[in-house]
């Protein structure tokens, strides 16, 4: 019979929770990038899913994470796994304050086109309360460039117009960069937006102001048009991991 050494026997007797604690400790090493299971991107017929470390702000089921723009109950409605602006219901905002980091949202302007210019599928996405990343049906719809879809409203037109037709789901990925200070605390750059519209870069690191440590609610605009939203999530800013040469 094969002898079992005292060493291997003791290994068998180590409780499982101690082993898992050891594993967790390994994952918590700040010099090792933590593992994140990515979600999938939404397509026009199907909502995407968030990455495993995201704070899910809207999964199509309820308004638990949301309140009216001035507090109180949300007056928008839930339709087919999305939320829809109700005219006169007012803008809405997240209950929780968020900060710099990565925001994701899918949105859809009405299939039946009504109005023109700023009156066509207008809503808005306001990370940390603003400035606004314009939501608009900009598909063959002319308006002033700093007010079209993907504009940082009244500041920066988008680099290109990557808008899908009305009634088709689209996405924004909005990275709100934390400000950068030099060693004396002087701002080298204030907060900035980078925006991808349907995966296309439309705002490239555009400064919008915002101090270190700023937090605020994400808001969505009621501009009177029944725009829909789904799959909204946020991942907080992470400090860069320093290079460690062996
Ligand atoms: Mg707007």
**C-alpha of residue 223 to centroid of ligand 1, in Å:** 6
Average pLDDT of the residues in 31-55: 95
CA distances from 237 to 2, 50, 65, 73, 177 (A): 55, 16, 20, 29, 8
Distance in Å, CA 135 to ligand 1 centroid: 5
Spacing, Cα 134 to ligand 1 middle (Å): 5
- Tell me what the pLDDT averaged over the chain comes to: 91
pLDDT of residue 27: 58
pLDDT for 15 equals: 52
Residue spans per domain, the chain: 55-236
Give residue 40's pLDDT band: very low, low, confident or very high (50, 70, 90).
very high
CATH 2.60.120.560 for domain 55-236, yes or no, is yes
User: What tens digit of pLDDT does each residue of 181-228 get?
Assistant: 999 999 998 999 999 999 999 999 999 998 888 999 999 999 999 999
Residue 29 is given by DSSP the state -
Whole-number Å distance, alpha carbon 52 to ligand 1 midpoint, is 30
In this prediction, what percent of the chain has a pLDDT beyond 70? 89
Cα-based torsion angle of the residue sequence 209, 180, 53, 233 in order, rounded to the nearest 10 degrees:
10
Q: Name the pTM for this structure.
A: 0.87
State the pLDDT at residue 151. 98
Q: Higher model confidence: residue 213 or residue 16?
A: 213
What is the distance in A from the centroid of ligand 1 to the CA of 102? 20
Residue 5 has pLDDT above 70, yes or no: no
pLDDT tens by residue, 85-140: 999 999 999 999 999 999 999 999 999 999 999 999 999 999 999 899 999 999 99
Distance from Cα 51 to the centre of ligand 1, integer Å: 27
CA angle 41, 42, 43 (to 5 degrees): 120
pLDDT of residue 3: 46
């Amino acid at each position: 019979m094969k002898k079992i050494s005292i060493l291997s026997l003791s290994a068998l007797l180590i409780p499982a929770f101690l082993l898992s604690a050891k594993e967790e400790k390994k994952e918590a090493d700040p010099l090792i990038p933590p593992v994140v299971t990515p979600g999938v991107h939404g397509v026009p017929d199907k909502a995407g899913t968030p990455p495993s470390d995201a704070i899910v702000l809207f999964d199509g089921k309820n308004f638990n994470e949301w309140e009216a723009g001035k507090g109180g109950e949300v007056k928008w409605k839930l339709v087919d796994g999305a939320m829809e602006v109700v005219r006169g219901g007012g803008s809405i905002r997240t209950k929780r304050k968020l900060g710099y980091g990565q925001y994701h949202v899918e949105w859809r302007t009405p299939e039946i086109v009504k109005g023109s210019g700023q009156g066509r599928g207008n809503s808005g996405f306001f990370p940390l309360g603003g400035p606004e990343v314009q939501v608009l049906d900009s598909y063959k719809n002319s308006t002033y460039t700093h007010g079209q879809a993907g504009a940082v409203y009244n500041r920066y037109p988008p680099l290109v117009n990557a808008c899908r037709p009305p009634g088709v789901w689209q996405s924004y990925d909005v990275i709100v960069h934390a400000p950068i200070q030099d060693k004396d605390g002087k701002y080298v750059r204030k907060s900035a937006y980078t925006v991808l519209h349907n995966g296309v870069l439309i705002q490239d690191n555009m400064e919008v102001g915002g101090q270190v440590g700023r937090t605020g609610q994400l808001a969505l605009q009621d501009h009177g048009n029944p725009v829909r939203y789904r799959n909204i999530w946020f991942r907080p800013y992470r400090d860069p991991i320093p290079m460690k040469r062996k």
